Amino acid sequence: MYNETVLDHFQNPRNTGEIPDADGVGSVGNPACGDVMKIFIKVVDGRLVDVKYKTFGCAAAIACSSMASELVKGKTVEEAAQLTRRDVADALHGLPDEKMACSNLAPDAIRAAIEDYRARQGE
């Protein structure tokens, strides 16, 4: 059902954990299944220098969290805010159609963390 890239990111997720002094925190849930992702970002000079997350979800959600964290790390806040679920799924070399809904969690959580970051900056 899952390709090797998805399985690799599910079994060896990158960037897991928390950032205690994060500059932005975002949390989103998938109402269809109740799974949740919480993401922490550290921003220096407008760039995401660190990204960590905790995902309580299915294999696809965890693989997407891992890949999304890799995709936005080092990017500017503006670039990271534009990440789409399609970007994440493509980087994972595809997800089963019925699992595409699970790939919303990571981009949505990143945007929520960026909104939190901007709110803290008074933007």
> Which parts of this chain interact with ligand FES (CB under 6 A)?
30, 33, 35, 57-58, 60-61, 102, 105
Alpha-helical runs (H) found in the chain: 4-11, 59-72, 77-81, 85-91, 105-120
CB nearer ligand FES, residue 52 or residue 99: 99
Residue 39 sits at the vertex; the CA angle it makes with 56 and 111, to the nearest 5 degrees, is 120
* C-beta atoms surrounding 75 within 10 Å: 17
Q: Please tell me the distance from the alpha carbon of residue 70 to that of residue 116, in angstroms, as a whole number.
A: 20
CB nearer ligand FES, residue 61 or residue 68: 61
Q: Pick the catalytic residue: 1, 33, 49, 119?
A: 33
33 annotated active-site: yes
Give the nearest distance from C-beta 70 to ligand FES in angstroms. 19
CB nearer ligand FES, residue 81 or residue 100: 100
Which residues are part of the catalytic machinery? 33, 102
